[in-house]
A and B are shown apart, each in its own frame.
Chain A
């Protein structure tokens, strides 16, 4: 921002100002290049490790680059003794259901908090915000007890069902977004006799696409990588998710870093692709929700 609008105090000629601007811009590129290397190096390490032979993997001191490329590590890791296809399917199922649950259960309360008046509304909103502050640990134990009494342990129900009852952070995010939509639009629709659901569906949602996209992405990433609750509730290997499968992998093949990294890379691929595609919408979504103004 302030690079483009470099100061040009009166005593500087435009030529001098241009030179300063150029120096600053190349400085920014150099810093970004260094940061990129730092942020990407670990990924390069992952990729090279995933391509090493077993011998190179165990070699001491370890080699930084593989002497030959062992693509078969991907096959061996994925189709080895652990059923990663099953883990992938389980993860897709849980993630899809949770995303659906989040969308359905966050849109309605967000609309209500943004556009409807009721006596207890303020109090409820304060409670909503407070739940964002409560450590997970506090509810972890009673929730575990609740779900084990219900006989839900070793099923996906503890992972999926709560997702259908709203996530405070997403409701808050959407609510901020809904409040930016002009009231005149809603009033006009109401005068035309549109129901609240119709207003939500035809006016609020189309105008909130970036926010919806952001929530989809948050929800996808969160559920795809969800580890803690899966570890607590899922016991049977066939029901494991990708993060759980990876964890088991390290127990069984503590020294097979090459296969481990191969599987880790494959299992994060969908998220990276999704982010590449949704990057612009994602950042815009956060901008417009008004987090900045808080």
Chain B
């Protein structure tokens, strides 16, 4: 290609990309730079900001509530990803079978994730109520005394994990897409070799799906570490600080206490956390994720 044409193509590329590029600079890159600067300041939005150096970061490291929220975030993240990724995978396997009412079943499983976060919160407050909630009523019917769920320090995080799995319709859709992408010839070949159901599952389905599983683990963890809107509505971090996750802690400092500097510093802790977790996952991925085409 002549350089004139190449230059014209590059010019067009920049023109076409410009909507995103401008938005990236204005709403992402700009705010990121600002967030770094703000994290070194004390600022309540009303008075002019004061440069405080590393004070916000020092405060963070000696803030027991920060460490508590970090622990809660990890528990919630690990729990919801571990349970969510396996449960939705099994569900997607079922939904991928050539059965009648397939579309109806898929819609039902997806429905919870299109319900507004707020309606979900109200609903689950009822379901998880210690005395008259649905779950504990069912448990009582079979003679089991259910826990206090959101009212108990011990069970509050497991209750939120349970709720997150119920709303994982997007994960199911992505798994379904992956399952539809596995070439049928692989199953036929395995069958000819005399592989049974179980063998085909472990030798064809799981390896072929491993990039998709990996995708869901990575994005699931990011979403879990960032998510807090439901928790904000349902428990406001309580009881005690049992459900105070990092996202909620940042939200509280920024928009309840208007402590912008500290909120920005906390945001960077979350960014570091997500990067660290993602890198660890990419490191582990080499041992179990199978790529059909080496890139």
Binding site for B on A (CB under 8 A): 1-9, 24-25, 28-29, 31-32, 35-36, 39-43, 45-46, 49, 60-62, 64, 104-106, 108-109, 111-113, 116-119, 121, 124, 127-128, 131, 133-146, 148, 162, 164-166, 168, 171, 196, 221, 224-225, 227-228, 232, 242-243, 246-247, 250, 257, 260-261, 264-265, 267-268, 271-272, 275-276, 279-280, 282-283, 286-287, 291-294
Question: Complex: how many Å from CA A24 to CA B151?
Answer: 41
Inter-chain contact A165/B188, CB cutoff 8 Å: no
Write the nearest CB–CB distance from B225 to chain A, whole angstroms.
7
Inter-chain contact B9/A118, CB cutoff 8 Å: yes
Count class of interface residues, chain B: 35 or more
Identify A131's interface contact among B24, B132, B177, B275, CB under 8 A.
B24
Residue of B nearest to A241 (CB): B116
Inter-chain contact B132/A291, CB cutoff 8 Å: no
Question: Complex: how many Å from CA A243 to CA B19?
Answer: 29
Inter-chain contact A291/B212, CB cutoff 8 Å: yes
Identify B27's interface contact among A29, A118, A119, A139, CB under 8 A.
A139
Interface of A is mostly: helix
Inter-chain contact A139/B105, CB cutoff 8 Å: no
Inter-chain contact B96/A260, CB cutoff 8 Å: no
Question: Complex: how many Å from CA A89 to CA B263?
Answer: 34
Identify B174's interface contact among A41, A109, A250, A286, CB under 8 A.
A286
Binding site for A on B (CB under 8 A): 6, 9-10, 12-14, 16-17, 19-24, 26-28, 30-32, 34-35, 38, 45, 91, 94-99, 103, 105-112, 114-119, 122-124, 126-127, 131-132, 134, 137, 166, 173-174, 176-182, 184, 187-188, 191, 194-197, 200-201, 205, 211-212, 215, 222, 225-226, 229, 233, 247, 250-251, 254-255, 260, 263-264, 266-268, 270-271, 274-275, 278, 292-293
Inter-chain contact B94/A137, CB cutoff 8 Å: no
Residues of chain B within 8 A of A292, CB atoms compared: 174, 177-178, 180-181, 211-212
